[in-house]
Structure 1
């Protein structure tokens, strides 16, 4: 046996919200913990997020006097997901209050409730939402750690570094968690360390093999190894093998970061996998460089496929939008689709695009087209002119009556959440009538894949026969999500990652 390069009680692979919660939970109990991040910045996809976190029934909701409870959240999950993952659903909602209580004990961490509706009309739903968010953070409050946090998506994708001002959203979450982890005095943070495999002795995972700056490392974890390092979203080859819809180039994960090494290492140690064809889907605005921008909060326009016809409620929550696009594409030609809009916003997209590339750059690259008439727009996009005009005219009629007779846009509280008043009967329905007209190419993107290692209620990795791979834990998008083909509400990816990383740490401590 080769000697250890370094030894710890707990090894955490990854540095997103889940990984850092697990690291803090372990280190705060006196366990010597190391966090290994493959890239040169901490935070992963979590740092790109708005940091809504679906952790129901906590002291944060109590402070906000929110009429919600653990039982209400359990009802919502069960009515939506059924009983297939009942034990993990229960572990999720039952543990959420303890996770928040532990984190808020640290002076670096504080949350607040911010309204954002749950995504499905099901029993137990909160129309105002039940998610919590970290407070914005002055970067000076965490010193040099602030420079080690991955910038927000818009800034990072365009190589601009951190935006001036306070750290918000995911950056605030990661910055606060890093400060808390360091503050325990029991943790070491390392970047530029790529885990290549697991060390198994007598059937138990006892550490990791890794590489850093050309040096091979063997890092011991006597209590266990937590793999919380993202999914396969950035690996084109593995996505194709797994049948994951979309493309690696269109994913919202940090470029080059989440390529599935952690999942592969777990499989090599005996772990089973599930849901590898699933992702947290979203529509993406195709970018001039072939990547995509996260599209959310659509407040105008319509989306059509290659036939020039609408096929969905464009204001759907983004995962449902992505799934509708994929379903349409299996029987037709919907990837890419075209978003059709007019000049009400000066030629800007009537939605939130992150990154928000200037319209002029899109028009120059051909990812958007502009025309004075719908017929000219159809010619430039290759869409059937009669069908496109019919779709627009039908939608404009719905805007006047306030009722989308095709797809019921504007009838759900989520639909109008991002829509300002438009002077009509339905804020989510605004007529397309002010030329020039525009068409933007929309592709199938994702916020990360959600398939991975199969785990139990304590995040222990399981073999295909249901037995435990001792010493190995998985959470975040490295594990198979308990939500299956659903995205129940804002912050479920972060919430489940944080809860099960916490439970992994608690199990290691026991």
Structure 2
């Protein structure tokens, strides 16, 4: 779809049909639109009643969405995986970190609710369903006060998706279809009654409950220009192509309220020459970024989303990541993203900073001075010239580097939902039978890019997905 054809909320489009004008082709109990993290978890929660039929429709050729493109790391506080490592913290600690990162601009009640539910989510996935998750306890992502990232094998979201899909395919009451986009909702007197689905041939599917899990609008440039920062409008898009705002438009056409539509997650270190993601674990283990003048231009530990804008503001919208062999060896075999970037030739090795800078045409003298200043601050245990104070190890030869740019990963605003992920109107009433999660729903990152704390996306995606599936299931079996 060309940019001019991409729909926005301001277009005069009919996103909802009247049930009186529809002849149903098939029916299901719970219809899940989208098979990313939100949709897969929602379906898993809903199908726990074997008497209910659950249908998952994904418009892409494969399930996964943005979750497949992520590290798959789920923040949670108070889990037994933490306790086994001697870590004691409460959901309130996690909520505080989220709110401090977004300067208390997010819905505080919703943040605390999702933080409390995070432990239930992890225990449910691991203990009830046998999903393979481990606690990442060798480094902390920016602004996390504790080790709370629960990650799949290879720290790779695609592995998490594969496990969830396998679990659903083993359930007799679940049908998961790809290349099957939901194109409209169907409602009766304001209550959702089903959907229209299909690309080449439309099918009308009656459903007692509909869960919108089509993610946000990162792949819709018209909507990005309408709602997000100017700096990110033309940035490289690193999310799923299917994220074109469909669910948000469907829900809004039924009167669903919207919030935080300017919120998004950026990423500061996408390797410019290969298109590979250069995992931010490089930075959090001591890597630094300089511009073409060899100068640091901000505190990298502020976070990869916030720092993406700083990178885009540099000449040419690029920066240069510098790290050393200690970091290279530590991440090898630990992060699938890192291994893939290495295989693609994203990183250049050199014995000196000057040799590295010669490859990228960066001012070597200033880059060497920047690195020396960083090392001196680490050795002194003091904040460096840009205010960064998380340094533990100095950088030493041999060095590695790559040219990076800032990118847009996904949006964080959308339909307002309650604690059960039900879509709400402006007056606070629920749109009957309709749920939303992940990028379709308002997230917990406040406004812009700066409020995003690592893991916020999956906190809302999987958290709301599970809550929606539970409420849909229980409301149909009362």
How does the TM-score come out when normalised to structure 2? 0.78
Q: Structure 1 residues 197-206 or 491-500, which shifts more?
A: 491-500
State whether residues 339 and 440 of structure 1, in contact with CA within 8 Å, keep that contact through their aligned partners in structure 2: yes
Does residue 486 of the first structure (1) align with residue 451 of the second (2)? yes
Q: Which aligned pairs between 1:450-465 and structure 2 lie closer than 5 A? A: 450-465=412-427
**Cα offset, 1:194, TM superposition:** 1.2
SS of match in other structure, 1:188:
strand
Superposed displacement of residue 33, structure 1: 1.0
Kept in 2: contact 1:235–1:258 (CA 8 A) = yes
Q: What 5-or-longer segments of structure 1 have no aligned partner?
A: 137-166, 416-425
Query: C-alpha separation between the residues in 1 aligned to 2:324 and 2:84?
Result: 43
Q: 1:26 to 1:372 in 2, by over 3 A?
A: closer
* Higher mean displacement: 86-95 or 9-18: 86-95
- The answer to whether structure 1 residue 177 and structure 2 residue 164 are counterparts is yes
The answer (yes or no) to whether the contact 1:452–1:477 under 8 Å persists in 2 is yes
Give the Cα separation in 1 of the matches to 2:127 and 2:327.
45
Matches of 1:16 and 1:202 in 2, distance apart?
30
Question: Which of residues 288, 307, 319 is equivalent to 1:324?
Answer: 307
Tell me what 1:15 maps to.
35
1:9-88 equivalence runs, <5 A: 9-29=29-49, 30-62=51-83, 64-77=85-98, 80=101, 82=104, 84-88=106-110
Mark the CA change 1:182 to 1:227 in structure 2 (over 3 Å): closer, same or farther: same
Question: Does the CA contact (< 8 Å) of 1:230 and 1:476 recur in 2?
Answer: yes
Match of 1:296 in 2: 280
Match of 2:219, SS state, is coil
Q: 1:219 to 1:359 in 2, by over 3 A?
A: closer
Output one character per residue of 1:328-368: Cα deviation in whole Å (capped at 9) or x when no partner. 756x647222335689999xx999765745699669xxxx8
After superposition, the C-alpha distances for 1:405-457 in whole angstroms (9 at most, x for unaligned) are 31354x43xx5xxxxxxxxxx41x315x76xx886332112442212222222
Q: What residue is the counterpart of 2:321 in the other structure?
A: 339
Provide Cα deviations, 1:31-50, integer angstroms capped at 9, x if missing partner: 32111111121122222333
Paired position in structure 2 for 1:218: 204
Q: Does 1:501 align with 2:470?
A: no
Q: Give the whole-Å Cα distance in 2 for the aligned partners of 1:80 and 1:288.
A: 31
Tell me, in whole angstroms, the C-alpha distance in 2 between the residues paired with 1:53 and 1:69. 15
Is the contact made by 1:5 and 1:218 (CA closer than 8 Å) also made in structure 2? yes
Q: 1:4 Cα deviation (Å)?
A: 1.8
Q: Deviations over 1:279-304 (max 9, x none)?
A: 22222334446x45243222566422
Query: Aligned partners of 1:438 and 1:103: how far apart in 2?
Result: 38
Change (3 A) 1:61 1:199: same
> The residue matched to 1:215 in structure 2 has which SS?
coil
1:6 maps to what in 2?
26
Task: Tell me, in whole angstroms, the C-alpha distance in 2 between the residues paired with 1:181 and 1:109.
Answer: 12
Per-residue CA deviations over 1:484-503 (Å, capped at 9, x if unaligned) read 243334x3322322221222
Q: Secondary structure at the match of 1:503?
A: helix
Is the CA contact (8 Å cut-off) linking 1:325 and 1:334 kept in structure 2? Answer: no
Contact preservation (8 Å) 1:369, 1:377: no
**Cα shift at 1:193:** 0.7
Post-superposition Cα deviations, 1:117-171, rounded to whole Å, max 9, x if no partner, equal 554558xx32xx123234x5xxxxxxxxxxxxxxxxxxxxxxxxxxxxxx87423
TM-score, length of structure 1 as denominator length: 0.73
Task: Please give the alpha-carbon distance, in whole angstroms, between the structure 1 residues aligned to 2:234 and 2:55.
Answer: 29
Partner of 2:270: 285
- Supply the distance in 1 between the matched residues of 2:323 and 2:123 (Cα, whole angstroms): 46
Q: Distance in 1 between matches of 2:308 and 2:235?
A: 17
Q: Classify 1:117/1:471 alpha carbon distance in 2 versus 1 (closer, same or farther; 3 Å).
A: farther
- Matching of residue 132 in structure 1 with residue 96 in structure 2: no
Which whole-Å CA distance do the structure 2 matches of 1:357 and 1:110 have between them? 24
SS of aligned partner of 2:206: strand
Contact 1:239 1:248 in 2 (8 A): no
Moved more, 199-208 or 91-100: 91-100
Aligned-pair Cα RMSD in Å: 3.9
Shift of 1:22: 0.9
CA distance in 2, matches of 1:75, 1:219: 42
SS in 2 for 1:293: coil
- Asked if the contact 2:270/2:405 (under 8 Å) is kept, the reply is yes
Q: Report the count of equivalent residues.
A: 444
